[in-house]
């Protein structure tokens, strides 16, 4: 019996709840009462996530079989919790970590908590699109030679824009040096679940893999998985960190959603992913008629169609991420985002300087694919040739900040708030990032430069969400 079925059966029984939660499953408990029937605590027969032996263990094993790892843990604190636990297990206090510079801010949070010294691997820039390329195994090899004391390597694949790195090649390099490979695959929970999808990081040999079920599969927000395999990870230590970082009162509603998601993919995944591939191909063929707006896809790289391409390191472009580029058009990303939302009632995932991102899954309907394709064709038809802008110069800026102290030291230092203009040359005491995707433009311990300042100011003027800058235009710097 699945977790949801067991909860539903219990909800309909005559057991009276002399226990938490305080709503007591009452239908009179306010306007949310209709959702309380299956919301319970760790009572008899429903196991304990932090010492799973029964129904929750079975649910986690079901997820494990789907992905093929040696062991899988439920995460009720999202992928953030998984990233924190993975890094804190792999690298002890004060040790070194090699991280891709385009990782989510949770990687930096782990570094602060463990007082780690981060060594960075900077992904190349795909200049035609202004997005990060995949991570090169050769770069990881070179950096591990340069920084042999790094205990682990952490990368993000796929990226927020859907670029998938060659995990197998990276794992081979990392393991030859007896290091731990952590892959934040939050946006790739669907990878490897069908022949229509590229293989995921578990199959690629990573030691620790984090998935956000809710990002690309039918599961509730905040639900995630952590997979572990191999002998390099201290699993006893990992369990201790998971127990420390996760709530002691996990939501059974969320866990039921996770189990339901896994069961749905088991039963309907093959059909769903095949349909998704067909819809994607139809969408791409239709939007090829756009004169100016461009949908990024792997064929742009392999066939070199429409732009000048150099050597790249990613294996594929995830079909679940539709990245529509406005570069060389009369629109920027935020403007296209706003038009789609306000005129067509199409809500995108995010906007950046010269592109937008739409997340597509096996739950998207044919209508959903068609509405977006039709809207893009209509908008593209409005773009007058004489108004097309030149390529923006922002891709030529040097956005690699100088690092003068560890994130932990800067984060915990005395600090003061100064205006953006006054911050040039100062050491950041907090993060500045665009959200989404939550990748720091500056992390604590890094120095504000003229180029980074210009990028931040342009992002603000464009209307993008810049976190770390107050409404008064101030940022926190080390005093």
* Residue 311: predicted pLDDT: 47
2-18: average pLDDT: 95
Quick: pLDDT tens for 167-198: 999 999 999 999 999 999 999 999 999 998 99
Same domain, 360 and 440: no
* Residue 160: predicted pLDDT: 94
* Residue 327: predicted pLDDT: 85
Quick: pLDDT tens for 383-405: 875 466 544 445 557 789 999 99
d(CA 233, CA 238): 8
**For residue 303, is pLDDT > 60?**
no
At residue 438 the predicted structure's pLDDT band, cuts being 50, 70 and 90, is: confident
**Residue 403 DSSP code:** B
152-161: average pLDDT: 97
In the block, tokens 């022949």 appear at 195
Same domain, 254 and 281: no
Same domain, 212 and 297: no
Strand 117-121 versus strand 224-228 pairing type:
unpaired
Alpha helix stretches (DSSP H) within 246-349: 252-287, 298-302, 333-344
d(CA 28, CA 97): 52
**For residue 117, is pLDDT > 50?**
yes
- Here the CATH number for the domain that contains residue 425 is 3.90.100.10
Contact between residue 225 and residue 189 where contact means Cβ atoms under 8 Å apart: yes
At residue 299 the predicted structure's pLDDT band, cuts being 50, 70 and 90, is: low
Compare 369 and 436 and report the one with higher pLDDT: 369
254-278: average pLDDT: 97
Q: What percentage of residues in the chain have a pLDDT greater than 90?
A: 86
d(CA 103, CA 379): 33
Q: What angle do CA 222, 224, 229 make, to 5 degrees?
A: 160
Same domain, 113 and 237: yes
Supply the range of the domain harboring residue 424.
397-478
Cα 435 from chain centroid (whole Å): 11
* Residue 309: predicted pLDDT: 36
Quick: pLDDT tens for 70-95: 999 999 999 999 999 999 999 999 99
Same domain, 370 and 443: no
Q: Does residue 300 form part of some domain?
A: yes
Same domain, 182 and 325: no
| 152: three-class secondary structure by DSSP | strand
Q: Does residue 41 form part of some domain?
A: no
Residues of the chain by 3-state class (helix, strand, coil), percent to 5: 40, 20, 40
* Residue 385: predicted pLDDT: 56
- Distances 65 to 9, 187, 265, 363, 371 between C-alpha atoms, Å: 26, 20, 12, 22, 36
**For residue 165, is pLDDT > 70?**
yes
Same domain, 182 and 241: yes
Q: What angle do CA 374, 378, 382 make, to 5 degrees?
A: 165
Q: Does residue 188 form part of some domain?
A: yes
Domain boundary among the residues 334, 361, 393 is at 393
- Here the CATH number for the domain that contains residue 302 is 3.90.1150.10
- Here the CATH number for the domain that contains residue 109 is 3.40.640.10
Q: Does residue 44 form part of some domain?
A: no
Measured in Å, how far apart are the chain's first and last C-alpha atoms? 58
Number of domains in the chain: 3
142-160: average pLDDT: 98
Quote the mean pLDDT of the chain. 93
Same domain, 288 and 371: yes
Same domain, 110 and 249: yes
Same domain, 361 and 245: no
Contact between residue 441 and residue 454 where contact means Cβ atoms under 8 Å apart: no
410-423: average pLDDT: 97
Same domain, 151 and 196: yes
Sheet holding 321-325, edge to edge: 294-295, 321-325, 355-359, 350-351
Domain boundary among the residues 372, 393, 414 is at 393
- Is this prediction's pTM over 0.85? yes
């Amino acid at each position: 019996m699945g977790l949801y079925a067991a909860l539903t059966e219990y909800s309909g029984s005559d057991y009276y709840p002399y226990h938490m939660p305080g709503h007591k499953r009452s239908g009179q408990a306010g306007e949310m009462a209709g959702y309380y029937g299956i919301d319970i605590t760790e009572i008899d027969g429903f196991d304990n996530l932090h010492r799973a032996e029964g129904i929750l263990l079975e649910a986690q094993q079901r997820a494990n079989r789907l992905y093929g790892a040696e062991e899988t843990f439920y995460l009720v604190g999202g992928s953030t919790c998984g990233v924190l636990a993975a890094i804190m297990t792999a690298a002890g206090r004060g040790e070194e970590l090699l991280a891709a510079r385009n990782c989510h801010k949770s990687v930096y949070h782990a570094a602060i908590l463990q007082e780690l010294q981060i060594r960075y691997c900077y992904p190349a820039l795909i200049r035609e699109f202004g997005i990060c390329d995949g991570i090169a195994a050769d770069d990881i090899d070179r950096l591990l030679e340069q920084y042999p004391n790094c205990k682990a390597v952490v990368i993000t694949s796929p990226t927020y824009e859907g670029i998938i790195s060659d995990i197998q090649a990276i794992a081979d390099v990392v393991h030859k040096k007896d290091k731990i490979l952590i892959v934040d695959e939050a946006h790739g929970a669907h990878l490897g679940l069908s022949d229509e999808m590229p293989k995921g990081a578990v199959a690629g040999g990573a030691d620790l893999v984090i998935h956000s079920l809710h990002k690309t599969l039918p599961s509730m927000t905040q639900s995630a998985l952590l997979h572990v395999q191999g002998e390099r990870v201290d699993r006893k230590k990992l369990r201790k960190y998971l127990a420390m970082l996760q709530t002691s009162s996990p939501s059974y509603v969320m866990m039921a959603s996770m189990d339901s998601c896994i069961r749905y993919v088991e039963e309907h995944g093959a059909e769903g992913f095949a349909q998704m591939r067909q819809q994607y191909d139809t969408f791409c063929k239709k939007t090829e008629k756009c004169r100016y707006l461009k949908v990024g896809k792997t064929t742009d790289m392999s066939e070199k169609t429409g732009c000048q391409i150099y050597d790249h390191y990613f294996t594929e472009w995830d079909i679940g991420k539709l990245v529509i580029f406005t570069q060389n058009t009369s629109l920027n990303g935020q403007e296209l985002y706003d038009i789609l939302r306000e005129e067509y009632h199409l809500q995108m995932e995010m906007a950046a300087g010269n592109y937008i991102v739409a997340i597509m899954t096996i739950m998207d309907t044919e209508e959903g694919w068609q509405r977006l394709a039709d809207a893009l064709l209509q908008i593209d038809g409005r773009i007058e040739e004489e108004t097309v802008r030149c390529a923006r110069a922002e891709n030529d800026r040097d956005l690699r900040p100088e690092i003068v102290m560890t994130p932990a030291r800067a984060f915990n230092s005395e600090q003061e708030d100064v205006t953006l203009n006054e911050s040039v040359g100062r050491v950041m005491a907090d993060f500045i990032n665009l959200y989404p995707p939550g990748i720091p433009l500056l992390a604590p311990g890094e120095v504000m430069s003229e180029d980074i300042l210009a990028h931040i100011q342009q992002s603000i003027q464009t209307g993008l969400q810049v976190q770390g800058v107050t409404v008064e235009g101030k940022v926190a710097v080390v005093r």
